[in-house]
Amino acid sequence: MIGIGGYSFKDVNTFKKNYNICMNLQINSKELYLSHIILNCILNKESFIGMKCNNYLDWGTIEEWEEYRDSYKTLFLDIDGVLFNNCGEYTEIKWGDNEPIQENINHIIDLYNTGKVQIILTTARKSKFKNETIKQLQKYGIKYHTIIFDLFHCKRYLINDYSQTNTYPSAIAINLKRDTKELNEKLI
């Protein structure tokens, strides 16, 4: 028997009954697959109705699930010093007028376009500079999901839990020297 799609059962008791039968019959197999349960259902004259499915993804093993999950990322990116040369409210060059770090911007745009990367921009820029900031981001085609303004100008900590479904380490920190073009090298 081969598995070529997703399956559902008319009720949970049908699944549980056939699961238990398969567990009791399992002799030389290390792992019980859904296909074993389906086969047992078919042998016991349970009916299944076929339906066409598009864009089906199969995570048959935990390793396949982890590989798929790891293809997605949420990035918290500082604006000044990472995407644009650093400046500030009281410097000669003001927020919104600072030069882009084009290599880093290009890399972020490419990542965003995969559809698998969520971009959250972070900044110590005050909210009153929101319009200038958004215009600057639009001018350079920077795509993002949200921006967090008004952060303290200090160390930033990302704290995340880990578990069997979100394995350790679930949070990664990357420190870039200010105004460098290293993002592509550091960010996998």
pTM: 0.72
Instruction: Please give the Cα distance from 86 to 101 (Å, whole number).
Output: 10
**pLDDT class for 103, splitting at 50, 70, 90?**
very high
pLDDT at 27: 59
Q: What is the pLDDT of residues 168-180, one digit of tens each?
A: 888 888 898 999 9
The answer to whether the CB of 120 falls within 8 A of the CB of 75 is yes
What's CA 127's distance to the chain center, in Å? Answer: 27
The counts of H helices and E strands in the chain are: 6, 3
pLDDT at 1: 37
**pLDDT class for 3, splitting at 50, 70, 90?**
very low
CATH classification for the domain delimited by 67-186, as one of 1.10.3080.10, 3.40.50.1820, 3.30.70.1230, 3.40.50.1000: 3.40.50.1000
HSE-up of 145 (CA within 13 Å, CB side)? 14
Through-space distance between the first and last CA atoms of the chain, rounded to whole angstroms = 39
Q: What is the pLDDT of residues 106-165, one digit of tens each?
A: 999 999 999 999 999 999 999 999 999 999 999 999 999 999 999 999 999 999 999 877
pLDDT at 5: 58
Q: What is the pLDDT of residues 20-69, one digit of tens each?
A: 888 888 655 677 888 888 888 889 888 877 777 777 777 777 788 888 88
Q: What is the mean pLDDT of residues 75-86?
A: 96
Whether 166 has a pLDDT exceeding 50, the answer reads yes
Residue boundaries of the structural domains of the chain? 12-56, 67-186
